[in-house]
Amino acid sequence: MSFFISGKDMIEHAHKNQYSIGAFSAHNAETIQGILWAAEEESSPVMIQVGQKAIQYMGMERMQKMIELFSSDITVPISIHLDHSREYKQTLKAIQLGFQSVMFDGSSLPFDENVRITKKVVENGSLLNIGVEGEIGTIGGIEDDITVAQEDVNITSVEEAATFSSRTAVDYLAISMGTAHGLYKSPPKLRFQRLKEISGEVKKPIVLHGGSSVPDDQVRKAISLGISKINVDTELRQSFTLGVQEVFHNHPEEWHLAVSLKSGRDRVKEKVKEKIQLFGSSQKANQFKRFCK
């Protein structure tokens, strides 16, 4: 029996117990299955993200229904999260559909406008105990249709993080601390001192975007300083694609999609298991269920 839970409760437990929830982006049936099966095998709570490319390709409600369908025999806590919505109307739709977590990304807006809309999202989400994520600061790289050049990256200051958190009452806060969306050509240099200062000031879970290919030691240190949700997308898309390509490379006459898609799904599952172990959420499912009672 599937166990859907508020993202607010899920991230709060991770924050209190110093581990991080993996927020894994799904794009089709196979990536959904790979994420869910990995979480089940690792006995880990999991967040499945529905991003803008997936919404454009499949539709928001169809993605939600697929996740719910494939979750029917999953026993670990699950939260479906709307990722990087830049439209209030779209974010409200996800709340109305029953997503357990939503993100309004107003990081490209003037500060006061970002605060105003994010606060409205929080007010709506809180009525149904739906977790709400906001973002302050600008994260570089490419995420779906959003591209931010390196020169436009804006590392979040302690003052703006504290003010934004206080005025919006977001449940978890995404900040810019040196990561970027996509894969890194060279190891990133995360601003750990800034993370420590922001975490100490806002006293709530912090979200790390651009979690793909960040070195393990930096991930562990970030978690120890307050990161409680880590987004992973590019590495999963890469894993799936390489799995499919592997079949055609090794067996050029193999045209059964069940074979190539299974290979892609298996690669996603192994990558998610690897991340779950790194983030410290492995074997936390039962502990979390007791926390919810």
| Residue 144: band (very low, low, confident or very high) from pLDDT cuts 50, 70, 90 | low
pLDDT tens, position by position, 28-73? 999 999 999 999 999 999 999 999 999 999 999 999 999 999 999 9
Is the overall model pTM greater than 0.75, yes or no? yes
For residues 269 and 289, is the Cβ–Cβ distance under 8 A?
Answer: no
Measured distance CA(266)–CA(60) in Å, rounded: 25
Domain count, the chain: 1
Domain extent, residue 35, equals 3-292
Give the bridge partners for 101, in sequence order: 81, 131
- In the residue annotation, 83 being an active-site residue is answered as yes
If you average pLDDT over every residue of the chain, what do you get? 91
Indicate the residue type of 169: A
The confidence score (pLDDT) of residue 210 equals 83
pLDDT exceeds 50 at position 148: no
Measured distance CA(278)–CA(268) in Å, rounded: 15
Measured distance CA(227)–CA(233) in Å, rounded: 17
pLDDT tens, position by position, 264-276? 999 999 999 999 9
What is the token pair recorded at 229? 């949700």
pLDDT exceeds 60 at position 181: no
CATH number (domain holding residue 231) = 3.20.20.70
Q: Which residue among the candidates 9, 83, 105, 171 is catalytic per the annotation? A: 83
The confidence score (pLDDT) of residue 183 equals 55
For residues 243 and 250, is the Cβ–Cβ distance under 8 A?
Answer: no
Please give the helix or strand (H or E) that residue 102 lies within, else none: strand 101-104
The confidence score (pLDDT) of residue 91 equals 98
For residues 219 and 278, is the Cβ–Cβ distance under 8 A?
Answer: yes
Interior angle at CA 93, CA 87 and CA 97, nearest 5 = 150
Measured distance CA(238)–CA(183) in Å, rounded: 10
Give the bridge partners for 178, in sequence order: none
